[in-house]
Amino acid sequence: MPAVIDPRQFDSTACSIARTMGLIGQPWTLLVLRDLFNGVRRFDELADHLGIARNVLTRRLAGLVEDGLVEKVSYREPGQRARHEYRLTQAGWDLRPILLVVMAYGDSHLSGADGPPLRMEHADCGGEVVVRLECAHGHPLAPTERLRARPGPGARYVPRESAVSAH
């Protein structure tokens, strides 16, 4: 069994969590993504539904497009000028489990006496969508289950004295 690693031995900027938070960690970003997942695609509809300032929405959408999570697609209503709508790319769709986990947390810990405000169902069979944590061998993992971190191919080692002095 490999030894337990000390996370301070590795460069924290080469962290998948830190990199992902760089994409989605801005205020409003997850809510914009939520609405895109739910089919709200047009700027005016997003602004109205979210109650977000238009300049903030413009920045969030531009960032999502720049980061490759959303694509901007032109459309034209009959007799109107060309406009844009926003559609998730595959990289954007791959974030859906994150939103489902955040939703499940809110349902469990923040929904109050009335219960969750929304239930997600599989459109094909009607089964409620649940978020599960399991290993690659199919073993279910409890939230408090012990996990072990091992360096991956992208890990960058930081000499021990530098790692300790930084904290």
What's the predicted TM-score (pTM) here? 0.83
Per-residue pLDDT of the chain (167 residues; tens, 9 = 90+): 455 677 788 888 888 998 999 999 999 999 999 999 999 999 999 999 999 999 999 999 999 999 999 999 999 989 999 999 999 999 999 999 999 999 999 999 999 899 999 999 999 999 999 999 999 999 999 989 999 888 888 888 887 665 455 54
Residue 36 lies in a domain: yes
Structural domains in the chain (count)? 1
Question: What own/partner pairs with CB < 8 Å and gap ≥ 24 does 8-12 have?
Answer: 8/158, 8/160, 8/163, 8/164, 8/166, 8/167, 9/157, 9/158, 9/160, 9/163, 10/151, 10/155, 10/156, 10/157, 10/158, 10/163, 11/155, 11/156, 11/157, 11/158
If phi > 0 it is left, if psi is from -120 to 50 it is alpha, else beta; for residue 111 that is alpha
CATH number at 49 reads 1.10.10.10
Which domain range does residue 12 map to? 7-94+132-165
In a domain, 2, yes or no: no
Residue 163 pLDDT: 47
